[in-house]
Amino acid sequence: MDRRRSRRLPITLALRVKGTDAAGRAFSELCYTINISGTGVLALTTRPPALGSEMELQILPPVNVTGSLDLWLRVSALVKRIEGTEGGQTAVALDFAEKPKFDLSPAALS
């Protein structure tokens, strides 16, 4: 039985994450999604965050959706699961804590 709240789409999108790593240090990095749904993302990061911590995300939609706009989706998310590390990257499951909002200023998270 599938317990997922929404369907996952295997789409690779640019994702900027800002949060606290497992060692308690603040970080911000550009990474990529493995999949995305209406309730969260699975992303690859080089800095594994602390389990249960809150992160700020900026998701860059595909160009065919945004046209020439530098448009990002901004959302807070909770680290729900940390999967195995491979090749220096860790898969992190993030549940959206709110509905994503459009943002025309991606520099705010850098």
Q: Is residue 58 part of a domain?
A: yes
What end-to-end distance do the CA atoms of the chain give, in Å?
Answer: 40
What integer pLDDT is reported at residue 69 of this predicted model? Answer: 61
Tell me whether residue 1 is in a domain.
Answer: no
Q: Is the Cβ–Cβ distance between 83 and 41 less than 8 Å? A: no
Give the H/E segment covering residue 101.
Answer: strand 101-103
Domain count, the chain: 1
Residue 108: predicted pLDDT: 46
CATH number of 33's domain: 2.30.110.10
What residue type is assigned to position 74 of the chain? Answer: R
Containing structural domain, residue 34: 14-109
pTM of the model: 0.82
* pLDDT computed for residue 60 by the predictor: 84
Residues of the chain with pLDDT below 50 are 1, 107-110
Whole-number pLDDT of residue 10: 94
